């Protein structure tokens, strides 16, 4: 080899080596990081594009996907529940006798286990209908089942485990009835094709913002308490500033997912204060809730709180407004909506 060519080649290799070993790794903002729940890291989410039911930026196919709403129980014998940590959106309400219950909603996220699945209530019917969801449950109060049978809800599709042959639900052996019915998103999404139903989303979107973009009239809120009824159903959230999320506690203990061992978190917590009233049903102490109209609301995100109002017109999605009447924009990510009787205390500091 010509001596001059050899020297040039050596110099080129040396320059390349210096560049390669001294280069900086890709910026975190350009990398999608996943946690153990398969969700994109909250601090590195894209901020534009199609969004899911909780404002997370997703591909168009996911944004167009019809949600699934599953009734999950919260009796102490049902804890810890599976699938709540994977939900995009969770509603928590009273059921009867002071016991609370959840409606877990999935669109962008998958859940391998969801349960224990329990029975329908009229207000869960309404929420599932508001989202145009597949509504999965195990039987229900007589009034809730009657309204479903009468076709009162035009936007949901009903899936009752009592009429399932084992395709969509299973009863596990490690728990006793009635706390042993489980399902998964994979199984439930097959329902649409099996029944030749539309799998296209039809709900209207809320408004969303970037983390810590500010909320007018906000107060500090790093420790939130929601007193639904009895100490066994006391809810607390503590703000995790590093991840800009709230850690969830139930009855004074961390509310953990049994499959991952991780504590359940919420990006945004909405407290919707509502009127409750007794109803005629085959379940003792059954209640109804007024979900159409308006009332007081509290929104917690970015370690702050805003007091405002909720409003819902028949056939529309519930929306939330600040004291100036402006619709509140929510952080993108897991949302918990706590639907609380208007005479129960909600405090924060």
- Taking alpha carbons only, the member of 327, 276, 301 closest to residue 224 is 301
- Asked if the structure places residue 200 within a domain, the reply is no
Q: What is the pLDDT of residue 132?
A: 98
Q: What is the pLDDT of residue 215?
A: 72
Q: Same domain for 187 and 255?
A: no
Q: What is the pLDDT of residue 47?
A: 67
Q: Could you tell me what percentage of the chain is helix, strand and coil, using 3-state DSSP and rounding each to the nearest 5?
A: 20, 35, 45
Query: What pLDDT, in 10s, does the model give residues 3-52?
Result: 444 433 434 344 333 333 333 333 322 222 223 333 444 445 566 789 99
Query: How far apart (Å, rounded) are the C-alpha atoms in residues 251 and 227?
Result: 10
Strands 134-137 and 157-160: parallel
Q: Same domain for 190 and 217?
A: no
Query: How far apart (Å, rounded) are the C-alpha atoms in residues 106 and 133?
Result: 9
Instruction: Point out the domain boundary residue: 163, 194, 225.
Output: 194
Token representation of residue 215 = 């909320």
φ, ψ of residue 44 to 5 degrees: the values are -125, 20
Alpha carbons within 13 angstroms on the beta-carbon side of residue 275 total: 8
Rg, Å, the chain Cα set: 23
**In which residue ranges of the chain is pLDDT below 70?**
1-47, 214, 216
Q: Same domain for 137 and 245?
A: no
φ, ψ of residue 76 to 5 degrees: the values are -50, -30
Query: How far apart (Å, rounded) are the C-alpha atoms in residues 47 and 196?
Result: 35
Q: What is the pLDDT of residue 325?
A: 95
Instruction: Point out the domain boundary residue: 194, 228, 260.
Output: 194
Q: What is the pLDDT of residue 49?
A: 84
- Asked if the structure places residue 299 within a domain, the reply is yes
Spacing of C-alpha 337 from chain mean position? 8
Q: Same domain for 190 and 211?
A: no
The answer to whether the beta carbons of residues 173 and 108 sit under 8 Å apart is no
Residue ranges in the chain assigned as alpha helix (H): 3-22, 60-63, 122-130, 142-149, 185-194
Q: What is the pLDDT of residue 291?
A: 98
Q: Same domain for 315 and 252?
A: yes
Sign of the four-CA dihedral 209, 210, 211, 212: negative
- Asked if the structure places residue 267 within a domain, the reply is yes
Q: Same domain for 234 and 108?
A: no
- Asked if the structure places residue 306 within a domain, the reply is yes
Q: Same domain for 181 and 312?
A: no
Name residue 267's beta-bridge partners: none
Q: Same domain for 58 and 163?
A: yes
SS3 category, 316:
coil
Strands 207-209 and 293-301: unpaired
Alpha carbons within 13 angstroms on the beta-carbon side of residue 66 total: 21
SS3 category, 28:
helix
Q: Same domain for 131 and 235?
A: no
- Asked if the structure places residue 342 within a domain, the reply is yes
Distances, alpha carbon 157 to alpha carbons 40, 73, 146, 254, in Å: 29, 20, 15, 34
Contact residues for 332 (Cβ-Cβ < 8 A; gap 6+): 45, 47, 51, 54, 55, 56, 57, 208, 209, 210, 211, 267
Q: Same domain for 189 and 56?
A: yes
Q: What is the pTM of this model?
A: 0.86
Q: Same domain for 216 and 178?
A: no
Query: What pLDDT, in 10s, does the model give residues 147-200?
Result: 999 999 999 999 999 999 999 999 999 999 999 999 999 999 999 999 999 999
Query: How far apart (Å, rounded) are the C-alpha atoms in residues 148 and 125?
Result: 8
- Asked if the structure places residue 48 within a domain, the reply is yes
Name residue 210's beta-bridge partners: none
Contact residues for 227 (Cβ-Cβ < 8 A; gap 6+): 234, 344, 345, 346
CATH number (domain holding residue 339): 3.50.90.10
Q: Same domain for 51 and 96?
A: yes
- Asked if the structure places residue 119 within a domain, the reply is yes
Token representation of residue 274 = 């509502």
> Which domain does 295 fall in, by range?
207-348
Query: How far apart (Å, rounded) are the C-alpha atoms in residues 70 and 307?
Result: 29
- Asked if the structure places residue 294 within a domain, the reply is yes
Q: How many domains does the structure of the chain reveal?
A: 2
Residue ranges in 54-121 assigned as alpha helix (H): 60-63
Q: Within 10 A of 232 (CB to CB), how many other CB atoms are there?
A: 16
Spacing of C-alpha 62 from chain mean position? 16
Q: How many residues does the chain have?
A: 349
């Amino acid at each position: 080899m010509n001596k001059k060519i050899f020297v040039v080649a050596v110099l080129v290799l040396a320059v390349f080596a210096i560049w390669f070993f001294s280069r900086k790794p890709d910026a975190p903002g350009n990398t999608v990081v996943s946690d153990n729940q398969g969700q994109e890291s909250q601090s590195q989410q894209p901020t534009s594009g199609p969004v899911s039911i909780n404002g997370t930026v997703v591909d168009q196919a996911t944004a167009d996907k019809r949600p699934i709403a599953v009734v999950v129980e919260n009796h102490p014998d049902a804890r810890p529940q599976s699938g709540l940590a994977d939900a995009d959106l969770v509603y928590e309400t009273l059921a009867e006798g002071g016991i609370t219950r959840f409606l877990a909603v999935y669109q962008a996220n998958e859940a391998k286990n969801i349960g224990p699945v329990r029975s329908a209530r009229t207000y869960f019917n309404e929420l599932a209908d508001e989202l145009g969801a597949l509504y999965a449950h195990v039987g229900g109060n007589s009034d809730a089942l009657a309204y479903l049978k009468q076709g009162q809800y035009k936007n949901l599709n009903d899936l009752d485990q009592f009429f399932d042959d084992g395709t969509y639900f299973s009863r596990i052996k490690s728990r006793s009835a009635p706390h042993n019915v489980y399902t998964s998103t994979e199984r439930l999404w097959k329902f649409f094709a099996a029944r030749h139903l539309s799998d296209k989303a039809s709900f209207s979107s809320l408004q969303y913002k970037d983390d810590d973009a500010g909320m007018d009239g906000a107060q500090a809120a790093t420790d939130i308490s929601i007193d639904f009824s009895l100490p066994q159903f006391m809810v607390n959230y503590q703000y995790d500033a590093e991840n800009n999320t709230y850690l969830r506690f139930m009855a004074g203990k961390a509310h953990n997912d049994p499959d991952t061992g991780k504590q359940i978190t919420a990006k945004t917590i909405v407290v919707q204060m509502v009127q409750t009233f007794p109803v005629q049903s085959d379940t003792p102490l059954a209640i109804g809730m007024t979900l159409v109209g308006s009332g007081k609301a509290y929104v917690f995100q970015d370690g702050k709180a805003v007091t405002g109002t909720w409003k819902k017109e028949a056939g529309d999605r519930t929306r939330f407004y600040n004291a100036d009447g402006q619709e509140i924009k929510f952080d993108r990510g897991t949302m918990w909506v706590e639907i609380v009787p208007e005479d129960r205390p909600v405090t924060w500091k």
